[in-house]
Amino acid sequence: MRVGAVVLTMGNRPDELRALLDSVAKQHGDPIAIAVVGNGSPLPELAVPGVDVRTVELPENVGIPAGRNVGIEAFGPGGSEVDVLLFLDDDGLLAREDTAELCRKAFAEDPGLGIISFRIADPETGETQRRHVPRLRASDPMRSSRVTTFLGGANAVRTKVFEEVGGLPDDFFYAHEETDLAWRALDAGWLIDYRSDMVLFHPTTAPARHAVYHRMVARNRVWLARRNLPALLVPVYLGVWFLLTLARRPSRPALRAWLGGFKEGWATPCGPRRPMKWATVWRLTRLGRPPVI
């Protein structure tokens, strides 16, 4: 089973990027080809002995999903030169040297498995934040399970998924692009697993560190619903999230940005609408995450 890796970088973490590439190069089994995408930034010299490192420098920052899509295409249309692609944050580090082999084994044993979400752990404390466990019952990050979404910078995707449902939604730029792909994959019959034994070390950070966080989280949530949910569920899903946002008592500037993004999500094109089947809604519900929250 051929494995490749996609790493997106803005060029501001060269030491961390080098450490990540070294951790990929140390993986057991056949060498993993790596595509590094400079998202609006030039790339340093990235040669790794014995590893096929492909580089793409984009003239501007096109956002996370579009940048990762460029990385997919570095392995041929839809990543067709490989069977599995790892997507890794440039400031992450594979904690074990058998992660790629575990991925190969998981995908080989379960032909219906489309996506694996890794566990993210702080390199100093070993702790995993609740938000990094892609399910509602997130109190035990050491419990592997079948899930309904995945973590964008710590995952493995079977390239047949891209062949069937397409890549990440370019226009999202940042936030919820993984759930958009996950819902389309689930609707096509693929399965998604969270694996606690596949670990990416990553420093603990707050998502709101990004200046565009509140606006894009709100805008993209509206787009996500408009693109993927049956019409009856769109107002329910967005109504629940509207109330949850108010219940979390964000600061006034944050709430203003969120409301602006919510309005933008309704006023701007969301891309092609392909509502999931009601059978998929029931499947998501049985997995513990009905698409209303």
Write the DSSP string, 143-192: --EE-S---TTEEEEEHHHHHHH-S--GGG-SSSHHHHHHHHHHHTT-EE
Instruction: Report whether 276 contacts 228 (CB < 8 A).
Output: yes
Q: In the CATH scheme, what is the code of domain 3-205?
A: 3.90.550.10
Q: Could you tell me the sign of the dihedral formed by the alpha carbons of 10, 152, 29, 83, in that order?
A: negative
Q: How far is CA 160 from the centre of its chain?
A: 16
Give residue 210's pLDDT: 56
CA angle in degrees (0–180, nearest 5) for 289-207-134: 25
Burial class (CB in 10 A: 0-12, 13-18, 19+), 214: buried
**Best CA proximity match to 182, nearest among 196, 203, 199, 165:** 165
Domain map (residue ranges) of the chain = 3-205, 208-275
Q: Could you tell me the sign of the dihedral formed by the alpha carbons of 101, 140, 210, 215, in that order?
A: positive
pLDDT digits (tens, 9 = 90+) for 160-202: 999 999 999 999 999 999 999 999 999 999 999 999 999 999 9
pLDDT digits (tens, 9 = 90+) for 209-254: 556 899 999 999 999 999 999 999 999 999 999 999 999 999 999 9
% of the chain exceeding 90 in pLDDT: 96
User: For residues 181 and 178, what is the distance between their CA atoms, to the nearest angstrom?
Assistant: 5
pTM of structure: 0.96
